[in-house]
């Protein structure tokens, strides 16, 4: 799967840099073309000539050492790459990436590249668990960086715990597996909705729900990484736009309806992960309502059922809905699948621990109209998104002549 893939390997300054030499050799043996970028600290552990001999390619160590005057070196390398792998990734280089710093060849290249970036951390167990490092890793995860988790075991500092760079063979297997599914959605146009909607009462009050948009954004991130053209229609959330995703912001159920329906005809796959309000205040006020004695009753009216209308209009689209339930989730999910003419439904029991709104994990039952059922135990929302999309591709392939 890595044959002729152009890989930039970033080596930062930790004792695990010696493993990067073996990793370079394994990648080359797998058919990849590898160019290595070393930080100044990495040169204290392994000489650049080692990587040059193993890769049979130039090794880059200095932003200003322009090897070809007709090109800007870090831009050229950034554009050349099919993927970038940082191994080992020290706490320092992770902090630089998260902070947007560009003070050496590796960090400037990382800011310039549009290729997928894989990070393989390696550091002392206490450094790895430090809040600053955890926050930086979370920031990179939100931006769509991919991680090859460190292993547990005896570390060079003498501690035993998590922080050891994953073995070169395992890293190569991860990359091969990723490439196997990398572009399975290439040529597909995918529309995803995410987050809550807000229905205004007056300028300072509105009805909404606890959706944070994390599941929908994970789906958008993974669909883009699989090669799809992704449109993300998002309610109000505090999340960064995933890389290579066209994001459209809306506030109300009506706004989401207009944006979804206007784009529906051109889409191949539509995933309705947003928590759209079923009701809105029948009357709204331009000025703030003043507090008065006694109770206050708000009369509500139904919003448009976006998913129902998409099901009725469906032609070639593969339509997936979400069912967030607290009581008899499977029963109500199956009813939704049939009633709204869906191709598949993702059923979440939002009352179960670790699932539902605001969490970084989810557990779901994925049921298709053809009768396929997949139970996904508690896992990260990105992993669940990947499974949902892979299941969708399998369904689409089974329909192909």
pLDDT tens digits, residue range 134-159?
999 999 988 889 899 886 555 455 54
Asked, for residue 356, whether it belongs to a domain, the answer is yes
**pLDDT tens digits, residue range 89-99?**
999 999 999 99
Nearest to 350 by CA among 365, 372, 340: 365
Output the CA–CA distances (angstroms, integers) from residue 259 to 43, 89, 248, 255, 336, in the order listed.
53, 41, 8, 6, 22
Phi and psi angles of residue 299, each rounded to the nearest 5 degrees, phi first: -80, 130
The total number of structural domains that make up the chain:
2
Give residue 218's pLDDT: 94
Pair (238, 260) in one structural domain: yes
Q: Is 44 annotated as a binding residue?
A: no
Instruction: Decide if 157 is catalytic.
Output: yes
Contact 302, 279 (CB under 8 A): yes
pTM for this prediction: 0.68
Residues 143/94, Cβ–Cβ less than 8 Å: no
Least confident range of 5-19, 37-51, 63-77: 63-77
pLDDT (0 to 100) of residue 164: 76
**Set 47, 102, 157, 201: catalytic member:** 157
Confidence of residue 357 (pLDDT cuts 50, 70, 90): confident
Residue 163's pLDDT is what? 65
How many CB atoms lie under 10 A from the CB of residue 19?
Answer: 22
The reply to whether 286 and 312 lie within a common domain is yes
Residues contacting residue 52 through CB under 8 Å, at least 6 positions apart: 36, 58, 59
Q: Which residue has the higher pLDDT, 146 or 107?
A: 107
Provide the residue range defining the domain that includes 307. Answer: 189-399
340 marked as part of a ligand binding site: yes
Is 288 annotated to bind a ligand? Reply is yes
pLDDT of residue 155: 47
**Tokens coding 312:** 């009725």
Boundary residue ending a domain (116, 147, 181): 181
* Residue 328 belongs to some domain of the structure: yes
The answer to whether position 77 is within a domain reads: yes
Check the annotation: does 291 bind a ligand.
no
């Amino acid at each position: 799967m890595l044959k002729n893939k152009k890989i930039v390997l970033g080596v930062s300054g930790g004792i695990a840099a010696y493993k990067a030499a073996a990793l370079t050799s394994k990648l080359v043996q797998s058919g990849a073309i590898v160019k290595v970028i070393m930080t100044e600290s990495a040169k204290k552990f392994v000489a650049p000539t080692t990587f040059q001999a193993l890769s049979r390619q130039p090794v880059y160590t200095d932003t200003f050492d322009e090897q070809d005057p007709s090109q800007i070196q870090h831009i050229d390398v950034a554009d050349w790459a099919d993927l970038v792998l940082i191994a080992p990734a020290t706490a320092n280089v992770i902090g630089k990436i998260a902070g947007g710093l560009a003070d050496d060849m590796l960090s400037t290249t990382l800011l310039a590249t549009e290729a997928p970036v894989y990070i393989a951390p390696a550091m002392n167990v206490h450094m790895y668990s430090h809040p600053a490092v955890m926050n930086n890793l979370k920031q990179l995860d939100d931006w769509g960086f991919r991680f090859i988790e460190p292993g547990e075991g005896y570390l060079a500092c003498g501690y035993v715990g998590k922080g050891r760079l994953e073995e070169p063979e395992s890293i190569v297997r991860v990359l091969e597996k990723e490439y196997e599914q990398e572009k399975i959605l290439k040529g597909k146009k995918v529309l995803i909705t995410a987050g809550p909607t807000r229905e205004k009462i007056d300028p300072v009050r509105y009805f909404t729900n606890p959706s944070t948009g994390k599941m929908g954004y994970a789906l958008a991130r993974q669909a883009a990484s699989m090669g799809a053209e992704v449109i993300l229609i998002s309610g109000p959330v505090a999340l960064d736009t995933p890389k290579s995703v066209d994001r459209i912001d809306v506030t109300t159920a009506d706004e989401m309806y207009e944006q979804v329906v206007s784009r529906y005809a051109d889409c191949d796959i539509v995933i309705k992960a947003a928590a759209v309000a079923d009701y809105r205040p029948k009357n709204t006020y331009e000025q703030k309502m003043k507090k008065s004695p006694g109770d206050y009753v708000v009369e509500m009216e139904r919003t448009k059922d976006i998913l129902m209308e998409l099901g009725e209009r469906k032609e070639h689209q593969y339509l997936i809905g979400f069912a967030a339930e607290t009581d008899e989730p499977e029963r109500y999910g199956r009813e939704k699948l049939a009633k709204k003419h869906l191709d598949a439904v993702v059923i979440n029991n939002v009352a179960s621990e670790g699932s539902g709104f605001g969490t970084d994990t989810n557990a779901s039952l994925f049921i298709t109209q053809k009768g396929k059922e997949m139970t996904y135990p508690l896992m990260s929302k990105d992993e669940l998104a990947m499974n949902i999309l892979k299941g969708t591709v399998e369904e689409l392939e089974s329909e192909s002549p």
